[in-house]
Amino acid sequence: MIWNRETRYTPYNAWPKSTLPALTAQVATSKWRLQHHIQPASGLLNDPNGFAYFNHQWQLSYQVFPYGPVHGLKAWQHLTSTDLIHWHDEGLAIQPDSKYDSHGAYTGTAIPVGDRLFIMYTGNVRDADWNRHAYQIGAWMDTDNQVKKITPPMIMAAPAGYTTSFRDPDLFERNGEYYALIGAQTTANLGAALLYHSSDLKQWDLQGELDLPAELRGYMVECPNLVEIDGQPVLIFCPQGLPQTTLAYENIYPNVSLVGSQFDLDHVKFTAAGAPTQLDAGFDVYATQAFNAPDGRALAVSWIGLPEIGYPTDSENWAHCLSLVKELTLKDNHLYQNPVIETKRLREKAQVLQAEVTSLTGAFETELTLAADEQVRLKVATTDAAHYLLIDLDSQTGTVTIDRRHTGHPFAEKYGQTRTTQVLRHTALKLRLIIDVSVFECYINNGYTTMTGRFFLDDAPTQLQLAGNVAAVSGTVWNWRK
């Protein structure tokens, strides 16, 4: 397939009916298919959308272009779950089939209102000269998962002083009033986040621009997301073009978190309680979406993939996945992330971590503790151990380094093949490592920091190898149920 503008934006009903079944059959044979992470049946997956609890189920969608591993005409693929670990595919929820989203149903969020789910998303439209128009569209989902779009759009255009890069509304409710935080770009090419307010979900008025410091804006703010944890606001966002003098990051674009002490909605003022941090210190996390669940938890899910980066699965006509669902907590104004407790239900066949653990099944996890002032090396390898993912732990210097140079299928080499994160020195180091065939999620010191990424071996990983002072490590390994 030659992916040009015409093929990327071919309407879904113009594709031959045989295309999707053929692509799905091809993708199903991939040795890199995941057992427990959300992934597309074919084509490209990107931003998580509409994460909510509604109709006695967890609701989650993701942007999808099902016809190839490229960014083309986007729709929303809808999933439901009763346990946050097993997801049922409900099919396409929002398709790019109106004059307000003719070139893509882009990122958005959802909140339950009575017996319906209210959705707001960005409709992407291109004119004959390929100029962009962005509309913030409302929609209602009923208990039968049927979606009805509202016309005209909630917000027809960005306000004066901002470009058409105006997208990704984040809905939330406070004291019976509704708000939407929307990513934007000023005409001076400075990233921004705009707050809109509504009392009735019909009329939306600009409340103002969030007072982000200039050094945190980059040239565009994508996927702004506000969540409350123990009464404190936490802002999660993706500032494209962020100077590395502001935040040391190595990926093409960062996903940033900022813990606050207060968010004054009337004056659109966010008071920070700490420094901005990378949400994930690994290779591939972007576009994280979080919300306050009715059970009191702050839950988040991330796109494990990055814009403008090619992946080895592209040749198989699929790309990317979502992270496991994570619970966000705060301690001393620091954001912690951990897989939701439900994830532990996947564990089976516990083994003691030792120098070599074999007979693993492609999806497994380990929890380990390294004593203070020690160094060990952990390899995630195939049966022949010819290629591997390498994790170095040093509790003397307080560093964890993940190296994917030796996996056999390198990619994104321009941005480096190692990542290192820093924790306390001279103290015991805890690690929870989850492997699911071609993705790793690494949670360090009870979620103080995380490192996530894709890696591609010639076969599914089946063994862990531990080198160094093995006696300084205690831990357990579990296979995951299929």
- Amino acid in position 471: A
Q: Which 8-state DSSP code applies to residue 162?
A: B
Query: Exactly one of 47, 168, 280, 403 is catalytic; which is it?
Result: 47
Contacts with 381 (C-beta within 8 Å, 6 or more apart), sequence order? 387, 388, 389, 457, 461, 462, 463, 464, 465
Max CA pair span of the chain: 67
Q: Which of 433, 368, 370, 418 is nearest to 398 (CA)?
A: 370
Active site residue 168: no
Cross-strand bridge partners of residue 338: 327
- Amino acid found at 205: D
Beta-bridged to residue 327, according to DSSP, are 299, 338
User: How close are the terminal C-alpha atoms of the chain, in Å?
Assistant: 34
Can you read off the two tokens belonging to residue 306? Answer: 């990055």
Sign of CA dihedral 263, 269, 273, 275: positive
Buried b (16+ CB within 10 A) or exposed e, 3-40: eeeeebeeebeeeeeeebeebbeebeebebbbbbbbbb
Could you count the other beta carbons within 10 Å of the beta carbon of residue 128?
Answer: 5
In angstroms, the CA 370 to CA 480 distance is: 23
CB 459 within 8 A of CB 383: yes
Q: What are phi and psi of 14, to 5 degrees?
A: -95, -10
Catalytic residue positions?
47
